[in-house]
Structure 1
Amino acid sequence: MSYWLMKSEPDTFSIDHLAAQRCATWDGVRNYQARNYIQQMRPGDLFLFHHSSCQPPGLAGIGAIVSAPYPDHSALDPQSPYFDPKASKERLPWLAIDVEFQEKFPALLNTQSLRQLAGLEELALLKRASRLSVMPVTEQQWQIMLSAARQA
């Protein structure tokens, strides 16, 4: 099993949206590095759901990967906010994945609090200019964040 951190703006898709739907498609990733991480995901992997571009940003809960990656057809839909005019049926570089709700934390564990936790110094989320919406997390980092989030 692998661990991940996935970011979404809560106005667009939040942990509450995922909880209400129970299972949803995670699409709209338009960064090649993040896409490469999605390519590595397997059913059974877990991810920390991070609310971003909000005040305060932070960890909101846990989800599970429930499908293998598949082509993200939202890139072909001109009505979609994730439309990619360079994409075509023959050349569709973007991937989507199905995710399932697991847990909502009692309170948001804000990013500033994460910076105070020992053992997260190498966490990509906390690096300067880290804008990736999908990133791997080590098992040790997972345990540190999970413990702190459940106590928040």
Structure 2
Amino acid sequence: MAYWLMKTEPDECSIDDFAASPATTIRWDGVRNYQARNFIRDMEIGDRVFIYHSSCKKIGIAGVVEVTTPAYPDPTQFNPESPYYDPKSTQDKPRWDAIDLRFVSKFDNVLSLDKLKNLTALSENPLIRMGNRLSVIPFTESEWRGVSNLIK
């Protein structure tokens, strides 16, 4: 099992959206950064993912979801009506991928970025580096455990 963090704006897709239908999967789409896309391609069924709320009042890790499918072509890249449409993408050569995720748990309180910055286990993680804009970030097992210990 691998570990990840995915950033989202809660008004677009939040941990509450996952919690509302815990048995249902939600497609994670719209990623338009090659490095983040490549991380999605590395994800496997059963991998655990922290959901990180950004661009909101309570910024931080809000809960956990799990990967339920391997990466597949993001259908929004082919839809001219979608804000994620990519005219350079074709059915034969898709450029972007999506992945399906399912609810695992919601934290009682969002783990704030300030709190995460003080966590020794994350000292090398890109999440706490200034200017990091990646929407998908890999976590080591020790980083995952360090964050998980904050919610116990």
TM-score, normalised relative to structure 1: 0.94
Give the Cα separation in 2 of the matches to 1:93 and 1:143. Answer: 33
Residue matched to 1:140: 142
CA RMSD of aligned residues (A): 1.1
Give the Cα separation in 2 of the matches to 1:119 and 1:38. Answer: 23
Residue matched to 1:13: 13
Residue matched to 2:92: 90
Q: Identity of aligned pairs, percent?
A: 45
Q: Is the 8 A contact 1:37 1:135 kept in 2?
A: yes
Give the Cα separation in 2 of the matches to 1:21 and 1:124. Answer: 31
1:52 aligns with 2:54: yes
> How many angstroms does 1:89 deviate by?
1.8
Give the Cα separation in 1 of the matches to 2:51 and 2:63. Answer: 5
Matched position secondary structure for 1:119: helix
Give the Cα separation in 1 of the matches to 2:13 and 2:128. Answer: 22
Which runs of structure 1 show a deviation greater than 6 angstroms over 4 or more consecutive aligned residues?
none
> How many angstroms does 1:83 deviate by?
1.4
> How many angstroms does 1:14 deviate by?
0.3
Structure 2, unpaired ranges of 5+? none
Aligned residues: 150
Please tell me the residue identity of whatever aligns with 1:36.
N
1:64 aligns with 2:66: yes
TM-score, normalised relative to structure 2: 0.94
Give the Cα separation in 2 of the matches to 1:146 and 1:79. Answer: 40
Give the Cα separation in 2 of the matches to 1:111 and 1:84. Answer: 32
Structure 1, unpaired ranges of 5+? none
> How many angstroms does 1:55 deviate by?
2.3
Please tell me the residue identity of whatever aligns with 1:5.
L
Please tell me the residue identity of whatever aligns with 2:9.
E
Could you list the per-position Cα deviations for residues 44-102 of structure 1 after superposition, in whole angstroms to 9, with x for gaps in the alignment? Answer: 10010100112231000000001111000111112222112222223211001110000
Residue matched to 1:30: 32
Residue matched to 1:108: 110
Q: Is the 8 A contact 1:65 1:100 kept in 2?
A: yes
